[in-house]
Every structure is written in structure tokens, then in C-alpha cells.
Chains A and B, each alone.
Chain A
Amino acid sequence: MIDILDGLKSAFWLVISFDVELWEISLRSLRVTLTALVIASLIAIPLGTFLAVQRFRYRRFVISFINALMGLPPVVIGLLVYILLSRSGPFGVLNLLFTPAAMIIAQVIIITPVIASIAHQAMRELWAEYHDLLISLNTTKWQRIKTLICDGRRNLLTAALAGFGRAIGEVGAIMIVGGNIDHVTRVLTTAIALETGKGDFALALGLGFVLIGIAILVNLAIHTLSRTEREGRW
């Protein structure tokens, strides 16, 4: 209990003293996670919607495969990305290992199945509602996908936020591919792991509370900007 109170105090002081290192780490966390989120959403949302409207031979298998990928241990993904990006790996020439780009790649791989799966579920329900209308209006496949994405944006936002939550809290994979290098790849979660290892629980907890605060603020900001709760309008 004392540790938690110390953690709260530590978080409070870190924030109000505008601690430079905290800001640097927090901004890097946000930059890496939001970049990964945008890239993953651009892949996962059209994919989830396509799977909802298109019937093809191995559709069920593809959906099951994506659902299964949601449960992949991040540390394994980190290891695979590490091998691919290491000097002896196929993408070693790109020199991406231990850079924020490597962390973004790992996060994209981790959260794309999460967003695609939730997006597919939401779009499947909306497609059931819209199916007859869109077919009767003689819409093209692209027009159907566009309409579903546009009208299902609230649910897609939830899918994206689920991906954000998974990415911002991720530690195993980005520790492996980022290396937790000070001023280069250190983010909130890896800093928490480091401070815990050093036995500075108060600072680790303080960073943890800052992480939780950032996650809540981003969620609120996205909801506010997208006006999801505006009365009577979509």
C-alpha cells in the first residue's frame, strides 16, 4: 500500500515538475504506438470489412487464422521480428533493429489481428443490416466496403482503441526489437520494466500511472474528436 502511495506521489511530481525524461519517454511511447495504430488500422479495417462482405472459398479459414493470431505471444513476435531484422536476417541491410521503426513493425504485427478481428465482427453485423439495401441499389463491392466503413466508424473506433490499448501496454516484443536504449528506444513500458528490475518501485509505479493516464487521455481525445456521443447524429 505504501508503495502504491509512493507511486502516486512520484507520478504526481514527475508530471507537475515537467520532468524532461518523462516527457521524452512518454512522447516516444505515443509516437511509436500511434504510428503503429495508424498503419495497423489501414490494413486491418479494410481487411475486416472485406471479410464481412466477400464470400470466397477459404474465408472461414482466414477468419479463424486471424482470430488465432490475436492470441500470439508478443514476445514470440518480438523474437521473429528480431531474427528478420538482425544483421544475418533477410532485412538486416535496412539497419532497423534497435530503432523505433523496429518497435513499430512489431506493434503492427501484434495489433493488426486484434483490430481486424473486432472490425470483422462489427462489419459483419452491419453488413447483415445493410445487405439487402446495398444489393438492391446495385452497389459495387468497393462502394459497399466504403459505406460500411463510413457508417460503422463508431465500432471501428472501438476496434482501433482496443489495438491502441494492446500496443501502448506492450513490453515484451518492443524490449527485444528496441533494446530499451536510453534516448533512442526507451518507452514507458520498457522504462517501467527497467525501474522494477532496479528495485525503484515508486518510480516504476509512477511511470505506470502516467501510462494509464496517457491511455485514458488518448481514448477520451479520440472519442471527443470523433463526436461519438453527440446526440442524434452519427
Chain B
Amino acid sequence: MSARFPLELRQIFVRRRGKTVIGPLDLALGAHGITIILGPNGSGKTTLLRVMHGIERINGGAVQWAQDDPAQHAFVFQSPVVLRRTVAQNLAYPLTLVNAPNERVTTAVQDWLARIGLSNKAELSATRLSGGERQKLAIARALIRKPDVLFLDEPCANLDGHATREIETILREAAAAGTRLVMATHDMGQARRLAQDLVFMLNGKIHETGTAASIFDTPKTSELAAFLKGDIVV
């Protein structure tokens, strides 16, 4: 495995109830940047992300990390899961799991509360937040341990433009700070705004990969060209 890749998937496939959900597929991710996984609903984007993060059982192939430390990659789900605790306690949670010193926890929580604009809601129950606020909280909670890689499964689905913009700003800042982002979306506009690399999935397989510029300007396959035009691709 090449040292410049933090993650490599080889001949991965996932089957559920006798049906192949994804695979066989190969993919190698570089150490930096933002990779967007594009594809229609049911193409296997979420499953691929879950396989990479290690929370989906695979039926074949290998997932190889350059440095295998599960604490160094985090995941943000499409429907944000918030703990039934205050906003501040939600943010502190990943740090308390690794017994971080109280001082470090307090500083990190205050810092992230300010960055996501929830300082005035720190002591409020997280379940009382709006959808956009919950997703910001979930992203901040995932980033608070400064992971090397952050996987995001359509984090802006069902959010309004304002919340989407705020989340994209947080993600750009995280990428600039050195966190590798791998994000599934079917929002073409968001893909254009954020992507440095693109992976196009169709029917559980990786159909095309490349830099954002090459994919958007000169798609190699008719399916991707159709998808980029907004046609229905099955």
C-alpha cells in the first residue's frame, strides 16, 4: 500500500439478504482535500462511507488504513444524532471518552460553541435545537477530537440555505486545518462548491473518479454526463 494514501479499499463488496449492495470496488484516498461521493439514491454512497469508517460489515475485500487508529476518523450522519444532554455536554462527549483533561475539554467546548454560534445555547438540551443547529453540533462534535478523516453522509439534506452555508464554511475550515473530508451528497451545487475530487457511484459500483474539474467539465461516461445534467439515471 502506498504511503501517501491514508485509506485504500480493495475488491470490497457488501451483500445483504443475498443481494449485492456495493461492489466489487476499489478506491484509494489521498491524505488531504475534500472528496465528494456523488450518485443517485440507492447507488451505495452511504454504505461505502460506512464501510470506510468501519461501521458496516463487509463480505469480501479489504479496507486498509495507513495508520489504523479508529479514533482518528469520525462520522456525521444524515439525520444528526444528538445525545439527550446539553449542547455543551454533547460537544464534550468524545473528549470524555478518551479521558481528556477537564481544562482541555472546557477550552475545546468553548471554542467550538463560539465557532458554530451556539454559545448562548450551551446549557440548553440539544434535543431542543433546530435541524440546522443539530447538524452543526454533530459536525463540531465529530471534529472536536481533530480527526484525520471526517466522513459525512449528506449532512445538508433537508437544511435551508442559511444552515447549509454555515455548515459548508465549517467544513472548508476543517479541510484547511488538515482534516480529510469524504462526503456523500446528491446536491450538485454543493459538490461544485466543495469538491476537489469526485467519486460517482451507480448501482453499488464506482462508475467514475477524478478531480472535480475533470469530472464536471469532461465526464467520461454517458451516465455521469446525464446525472450532471439532472437526468434520472438508474
Chain A residues within CB distance 8 Å of chain B = 126, 129-130, 132-133, 135-139, 143, 147, 151-152, 232-234
Find out whether the CB atom of A132 lies under 8 angstroms from the CB atom of B125.
no
What's the Cα separation between A19 and B55 when bound, in Å? 64
A residues in contact with B77, CB < 8 Å: 132-133, 136
Contact among B55, B81, B84, B94 for A234, CB-based, below 8 A: B84
Interface locus among B7-15, B68-76, B195-203, B207-215: B68-76
A residues in contact with B173, CB < 8 Å: none
20 contacts between A and B (CB under 8 A): A129-B81, A130-B81, A132-B55, A132-B75, A133-B77, A135-B55, A136-B53, A136-B55, A136-B74, A136-B77, A137-B93, A138-B70, A138-B71, A139-B97, A232-B124, A232-B125, A233-B123, A233-B124, A234-B84, A234-B85
Minimum CB–CB distance from B69 to chain A (whole Å) comes to 9
B residues in contact with A139, CB < 8 Å: 97
Find out whether the CB atom of B125 lies under 8 angstroms from the CB atom of A233.
yes
A residues in contact with B74, CB < 8 Å: 136-137
B86 located at the interface, meaning its Cβ lies under 8 Å from any Cβ of chain A in the complex: yes
Chain B residues within CB distance 8 Å of chain A = 53, 55, 70-71, 74-75, 77, 81, 83-86, 93-94, 97, 123-125, 127-128
Find out whether the CB atom of A136 lies under 8 angstroms from the CB atom of B75.
yes
Nearest neighbor of B69 in chain A, beta-carbon distance: A138
Nearest neighbor of A230 in chain B, beta-carbon distance: B125
What's the Cα separation between A201 and B125 when bound, in Å? 50
What's the Cα separation between A135 and B127 when bound, in Å? 20
Nearest neighbor of B128 in chain A, beta-carbon distance: A232
Q: Kindly list 18 other residue pairs between chains A and B, CB separation below 8 angstroms, not including A130-B81, A234-B125.
A: A126-B84, A130-B83, A132-B77, A132-B81, A133-B81, A136-B74, A137-B97, A138-B71, A143-B97, A147-B83, A232-B125, A232-B128, A233-B123, A233-B124, A233-B125, A234-B85, A234-B86, A234-B127
Find out whether the CB atom of A151 lies under 8 angstroms from the CB atom of B125.
no
Minimum CB–CB distance from B124 to chain A (whole Å) comes to 5
What's the Cα separation between A143 and B74 when bound, in Å? 17
Find out whether the CB atom of A151 lies under 8 angstroms from the CB atom of B55.
no
Pick from A136, A139, A234 the residue with the most CB of B within 10 Å: A136
Contact among A136, A138, A151 for B84, CB-based, below 8 A: A151
A residues in contact with B86, CB < 8 Å: 233-234
